[in-house]
Amino acid sequence: VRVVLTRQQMFTFGHRPETWQRVQLGAGADGALQSVMHEAVAETSRLEDYVEVVVNWSGQLYKSENVKLDYKLVSLDHASPMDMRAPGAAHGVHALEVAMDELAYALDMDPLALRLNNYTDHDAANGLPYSTKELRACYAQGAERFGWSRRPMAPRSMKEGSELIGWGMATGQWDALQMFARAAAVLHADGRLEVRSAATDIGTGTYTVMAQIAAAAMGLPMEQVIFQLGDSTLPAAPIEGGSSHVATVGSAVEGVCEKLQKRLFKLARAMPDSPFDKAKFADVRFREGAMELAATGDAPGASISLAGILAAAGEASIEEKYLMLPNMLKQKKYIRATHSAVFCEVRVDEAFGTVRVTRVVSAIAAGRIMSAQLARSQIYGGVVWGISQALHEETLADHRLGRFMNHSLAEYHVAANADIHDIDVIFVEEDDRIVSRLGAKGVGEIGIVGVAAAVSNAIFHATGRRIRSTPMTPDKVMAPGDGWAAGDSAIGLSPD
């Protein structure tokens, strides 16, 4: 079955809900947060209550003993909202991070220093520790790559020609999820490995990364591995969502490969005069299409090809199945999340109010990165979408009829090639065996979180004007005052 929707039809499918938010932060002169208050009012339709996690991030990201969070829904005569990349976090973290930047200026403190001053390894709401949190490394490596130490504190202090230049930064966080999944694998006597799971590939590279995981586990070249997905007759797997597919399906793939390894080891031990008869499974490894014993002293370990094991056993192929279930007893003791530090440079033509995002450095902590090329592509996409969120994307409704008015790509603006310049992605070393047996988390959603806030904070640094709603269009950049206009419908912070 293949379904292709027009842009107009996509507007009936759902949209990111509009939210109004107020963030109030209290801090001492040293920058230590004493209180965090975050309230949000979000739209839903009269047909259903669509709920997102919008304010909870404010109770998790920074250390504060006094946190108050409030979230309300307003039912409108409107189409139902639905999940859109990093639902809740893309705009909830935006509000928090713009408020943190404003607090930094109220304290005359570097925005990065303020965040480091309030760094925490625990969730303030429930006291749970993070399973892993290499956010400090994200800050350090991102700041160094960007050149943050050369940033003057005062707004409007950098200019080139007719353009004001601003540098801003923000933090990002997204859940590190894992669901259940099944996988099956068949190893053939000719060395081919077939791995099957009813996973999906929405263009993120599932085919490739699952084949890579299987090939690495079995010590086979990629060209001998076939990964089958996208069929309901295959072993069950969840949808590709929540940045969970690698941690979920990838763990199932590695699990079924381990079962194949143990089966091969058992067959090898049963061979006549087998060099493996007294070995333990922990003593063997799989590489270059063979199973081999670890070397002892100067003597190389015994080795036999996987095809040779099957031939000796008289097997044309062997098959195993595996059910991957999250270890909830272990995982519930921790808060599990991915993190980012986003650094951004903008150039603002004050005469026309136009903003160009000329440079972004995004430092990501997302567990083990199974495929750096595919993961980097995901972060590129998230950064592009975050820039688009910051400067372009806005759905306009006819308030008399509840219908969307700009339901084409001619009127609904998205970032184009001309809007995107230099994007530098850093993957910080992290290994999280609590989230998954692979040590991996996920890199889908985290790429967008914090980007719009970093753009907003950079615009303030360039212009001295605080814009508290998205998209930050030229009319808002040129507006008198601090950029807050009553009736702005996207994201608002209290003017207090």
Which active-site residues does the annotation give? 445
- The number of beta carbons lying within 10 Å of the beta carbon of residue 349 is 15
Question: Which tokens sit at 203?
Answer: 């263009």
**Which residues fall within 8 angstroms of residue 6, CB to CB, at 6 or more apart?**
none
- Computed over its alpha carbons, how large is the radius of gyration of the chain? 26
- Residue with token string 């947060």: 33
Could you tell me the two tokens for 344? 């951004």
CA distance 440 to 127: 24
Q: Which long-range contacts (CB under 8 A, 24 or more apart) does 213-216 make?
A: 213/250, 213/253, 213/254, 213/257, 213/370, 213/438, 214/185, 214/253, 214/254, 214/257
Backbone angles phi, psi at 176, to 5 degrees: -100, 100
Q: Count CB-CB contacts under 10 A for residue 447.
A: 33
Query: Other C-beta atoms within 10 Å of 337: how many?
Result: 27
Angle at 128 between CA 124 and CA 129, to 5 degrees: 100
Give the closest residue to 464 by CA, choosing from 93, 158, 84, 75.
Answer: 158
CA 323/CA 283 separation, integer angstroms:
25
